[in-house]
Structure 1
C-alpha cells in the first residue's frame, strides 16, 4: 500500500522533525500546491475570483487567528478589527507613495501594536472577560473608522485601493491578484507550521494548557501572551491588506464588522483549534458551503423536487448550514481536521485495524 509508515527510518534529527516525514504526505502537499499554481489555467475567471481567491485570503486570516486561539489559547472576538486596521493602513501608505511591500509590513505593524494594547487584557483576565476586552476592540475600532473622516472618508465612504506592484509585478487582473493571495497564504502556512515546532510554539502551548504551571517551569506568561497577540495581529493585519488589494479593491467599514469576527471564529472552531489544515477546511466550510447549499436547493426546486414557498426556499440553506455546524459540535468537537486525521490514520494501517491504538 502506498500510504505506510514502513520504510520510514529516522536516523537523523532532521528527518524526525520534518514537517511531512511520510512520503505520501509530501506528495499530497506537492500535488495540492501544483493544482493551486495551475488554477488559472483550468479554472474560469468566475470560479477563480469568486471561490478560490476569497478562500485563500480567508484561510490566511483563519491561520492568523489559529495561532492565537488554537496554539496560545487566547480568545479573540474582534479579529475583523485587526484586519480593518491593516486594510486601511496599507491603503493610506500606498497612497502616500510607500512601496506595496513596505506598506504590507507597515499594515501588519500597526495592527500588531493596536492588537497588543487590547491583548494586554489577557495578562490579567481570561475566558469570557478576555472576550469582552476583544469585543471592546472591535466596537472601538469600528467607531473610530466610521467617525474619523481622515481614516475612512466618512461613514458611507468607500476607499478605493490604488494601483500597486508586488515584487515588481503590477497587481492588476485576476491572475496577478490570485497569485499574490496564494503567495501570502503559503507564507502564513509555512510560518504557522514551523512556529508549532519551535520553543516559542511550545511555550504558547504550555500557556494554553496551564499558564501558572508554565510560569513554574520558566515560561514567562507576560512575554509570550504579548508575543502571541503581536504575531497573530501582525499576520491578521497583512491579511486584511491582502484582502483589500487582491479581492475587494475598495474598503468600507461594513466589510469588517462584528459578524466577520464571528465568521472567523467559526472557521477556526469548525476547522479544528490549532490545526493548519483545519483553517483551510473551516474557511471553505464557512465561505463556500452556504453557496453550494443555495445552488443545490435552487436546482432541486427547478427540478420540481422541492415544492415550497420562495421565502422558505431562501432559508433552507441557512437551516441546513446551521444544522451541520451543530452536528460538528456534537459529534466531532475537534472539527474537520480531526475527521481528516481519523481517515489518515485509518489508511496508515489499513487493512490491519487491530494495530490501531
Structure 2
C-alpha cells in the first residue's frame, strides 16, 4: 500500500533525518523528476511555455515569500517590488555586458540589499503595522521604478531583455529555457527542504512562534529576521529575473505592481504557510485554475445550450473560482499542503485507523 513503513528500521539517526525516509516518497520524487525532465517531449509547446514555465517560476517566488511569511511569521505585502528590483537590476546588468549568470546573481544581491534596508525600517513594528510598512514600501518602489528613467525608462516604457545565455551561449529554444527554470526551482526547493533541518531553520521557527521566548534561549530574533528578509529577497530577486528572461522577455512596472504582491500572498495562504509542497499547489491553484475554469464554464454552457451573455460568461468563472478558494479554506484553513498532509497521515496507518489515536 502507499506510504507503508514496513521494512523501515530506525537503527541510526542519519536515516531518520533523511528528507524522504519512506520508500514510496523517494520513488514518487524520482518519477516526478523524470516527468519534469521529459516534459519537452511529453507536452506540447503551448503547455510548456504557457503553463509549466510560469508555474515553476512563480513557485520559486512563492517559496521565497513562504520563507519570510511561513517560516519566520513576518508579514510581507511588498514582495512583487522585491522581484521587480531583481528583474530590473539583472536586465540592466546584462545590457551593460555582464554575463547572464552573474547578472542573475547581481539581481538577487540587489534585491537582498534592498530587502535588508526595508527590514531595518519595518522590523521595528509587528503584526498589522509590519504589513502596512511593507505595503508602503511596495508603493514607494512602484513610484521609484515608474518615475526614474534610469531604471525603467519612464512610466509607460517597456525595457526589452537580452536573450538568456549560459557560458556565453544563447539559450533560444523553449526546452532550453524550461530546463534553466526547472534547475532554479529545484535548487530553491532543495534549499527550503534542508533549511527546516538546520539550526537556522529552527531559529526562524522559534522566532515565528514567540520572539520573546526565542530571545530567552539565546536566539537573536532581530538578526534572524534580517537573515530571513535577505534570503527571501534574494530568492525573489532571482525569480523576478527568471520571470523576465524566461517568460515575459520584457519588463514593465505593471508586471510587479501591488496586485501581484496580493496574488503571491494568496498563493502562500491557499497552499499553506510553511508548506513546501503547498507552495506548488497554491501557485497552481491561483495561477492556472482561473484559465481552466473559464474554459470549463464555456464548455458547460455550450454542451447544455445555455443562453448566457458574453459579459455574464466572463464573470461566472471568477465567481466560481472565488467560491472554490473559500471552500478550500473552510475545509482546511491551513491550505492545500495540510490537505495533502492529512491524506498522507491517513495512508501511513491505513487500515489501522486506531493507530492515529
Alignment check: 8 A CA contact 1:297 1:317 kept: yes
Is residue 138 of structure 1 aligned with residue 138 of structure 2?
A: yes
Structure 2 CA distance for aligned equivalents of residues 163 and 284 of structure 1: 27
Give the C-alpha shift of residue 119 in structure 1.
1.4
- Aligned equivalent of 1:340: 340
Cα 1:305–1:272, aligned 2, differ >3 Å: closer, same or farther? Answer: farther
Give 4+ residue runs of structure 1 displaced > 4 Å after superposition: none
Structure 1 CA distance for aligned equivalents of residues 123 and 61 of structure 2: 24
Give the unaligned 5+ runs of structure 2: none
- Aligned equivalent of 1:179: 179
Alignment check: 8 A CA contact 1:70 1:274 kept: yes
Give the C-alpha shift of residue 122 in structure 1.
4.3
- Aligned equivalent of 1:80: 80
Structure 1 CA distance for aligned equivalents of residues 270 and 129 of structure 2: 23
Give the C-alpha shift of residue 346 in structure 1.
1.5
Structure 2 CA distance for aligned equivalents of residues 346 and 72 of structure 1: 29
- Aligned equivalent of 1:354: 354
Give the C-alpha shift of residue 169 in structure 1.
4.5
Equivalent positions of 1:10-159 (< 5 A) are 10-159=10-159
Structure 2 CA distance for aligned equivalents of residues 164 and 2 of structure 1: 42
Deviations 1:288-327 (A, max 9, x none): 1101100001111222353322211111110011111111
Structure 2 CA distance for aligned equivalents of residues 25 and 267 of structure 1: 24
Could you state the TM-score of these two structures normalised by the residue count of structure 1? Answer: 0.98
Structure 1 CA distance for aligned equivalents of residues 2 and 198 of structure 2: 30
- Aligned equivalent of 2:211: 211
Structure 1 CA distance for aligned equivalents of residues 250 and 65 of structure 2: 23
- Aligned equivalent of 2:226: 226
Alignment check: 8 A CA contact 1:69 1:76 kept: yes
Structure 2 CA distance for aligned equivalents of residues 244 and 163 of structure 1: 10
- Aligned equivalent of 2:256: 256
Structure 2 CA distance for aligned equivalents of residues 168 and 24 of structure 1: 41
What is the alpha-carbon root mean square deviation over aligned residues?
Answer: 1.1
Give the C-alpha shift of residue 177 in structure 1.
1.1
Give the C-alpha shift of residue 127 in structure 1.
0.8
Structure 2 CA distance for aligned equivalents of residues 344 and 253 of structure 1: 42
Give the unaligned 5+ runs of structure 1: none
Could you state the TM-score of these two structures normalised by the residue count of structure 2? Answer: 0.98
Structure 2 CA distance for aligned equivalents of residues 140 and 173 of structure 1: 37
Structure 1 CA distance for aligned equivalents of residues 306 and 253 of structure 2: 38
Alignment check: 8 A CA contact 1:214 1:221 kept: yes
Structure 2 CA distance for aligned equivalents of residues 272 and 104 of structure 1: 28
Structure 2 CA distance for aligned equivalents of residues 20 and 81 of structure 1: 35
Structure 2 CA distance for aligned equivalents of residues 112 and 212 of structure 1: 26
Alignment check: 8 A CA contact 1:121 1:130 kept: no
- Aligned equivalent of 2:315: 315
Alignment check: 8 A CA contact 2:123 2:130 kept: no
Structure 2 CA distance for aligned equivalents of residues 83 and 303 of structure 1: 42
Aligned length: 357
Structure 2 CA distance for aligned equivalents of residues 26 and 169 of structure 1: 35
Alignment check: 8 A CA contact 1:79 1:236 kept: yes
